[in-house]
Amino acid sequence: MLTDYHVHLRPDDPGTDAATYFTAANADRYRETAESRGVAELGVSEHIHRFTAALDVWQHPFWRQSAQDDLDRYVEFVREETDLRLGIEADYIRGTEDRMANLLDAHEWDYVLGSVHFLGEHAVDFDDETDIWRYEASAERVWRRYFEAIAESALTGLYDVITHPDLVKIWGKGRPAPSKDPRYFYEPAVEAMLEANVAMEVSTAGLRKPVGEIYPARPMIEMAVDAGVPIALSSDAHTPDQLGFRYDEAVKLLEDCGVKEIAVFERRERRLEPLG
Ligand SMILES: [Zn+2]
Ligand SMILES: [Zn+2]
């Protein structure tokens, strides 16, 4: 079994229109490409900040600019016009947990992906005026705050999968690296995933980013496998062509790390299926 759950039907560009992308024909394009790449289990997980309902949760300027779509319409479209699993990529924003829970509880997801893109008001993966690296004193601080947020996100109970779990490395050599062994930062995050009984995503999206590596780094995968944290495999595709992106490398890495099974989700129940 190969899965791709972290998938966006529509691009991140705020100038685009949901009606163009939330169509049965577009979903078919994703399904056909996934099939041709051996990905049997396919789901979609639009960014929560694309939906107007997200403004009840958080009012960050980026969210205000991005919130255009109707959440009920998305859910209805995926359930009634496609055979895709229904997911959502929901940020962990400290202090908004109750409001986020209310929003998520209103729908029957197959899975909810938890992401840390923001630390306070500042972004981990935007190279603009919101970039956390313009505001923090050291790489140690950025990494510590990022992985603390990952641990907190797991423990909220809001999420089934913790996505791109070392996204903080996205810029690669474009930002300073902490001098400590990165396992120092990974360990509490992996412990929290174990305690919270959530899966950890292994994502090939990092191969498309400046860092040029799978998320997360091999030592974090090994740590999760040793601890018994289930692994979920995804590409974070934003176009059909990105589905199952460079999965041969991901499968090899997972096999090298001793992963034999991957997580599969339906109506927020998790089971394990053989990898490959
Ligand atoms: Zn993300
Ligand atoms: Zn995503």
Which residues have a Cβ under 8 Å from the Cβ of 128 and sit 6 or more positions away?
Answer: none
User: Ligand 2 centre from 8 Cα, in Å?
Assistant: 7
| pLDDT tens-digit series, residues 121-167 | 999 999 999 999 999 989 999 999 999 999 999 999 999 999 999 99
Q: Return residues with CB closer than 5 A to ligand 1 (ion).
A: 115
Compute, in angstroms, the gap from residue 130 CA to the centroid of ligand 1. Answer: 16
Note the pLDDT of residue 5: 98
**pLDDT average, residue stretch 250-267:** 98
Q: What is the Å distance from ligand 2's center to 6 Cα?
A: 6
pLDDT for 103 = 98
pLDDT of residue 1: 96
Cα dihedral 260→229→238→30 (10° resolution)? 40
Confidence of residue 192 (pLDDT cuts 50, 70, 90): very high
Residue 97 predicted with pLDDT over 80:
yes
Residue type, 153: S
- Measured CA to CA in angstroms, residue 178 lies from 109, 133, 137, 175, 198 at distances of 37, 13, 12, 10, 27
Ligand 2: distance of its center to the CA of 167 in Å? 11
Region 211-239: mean pLDDT is 98
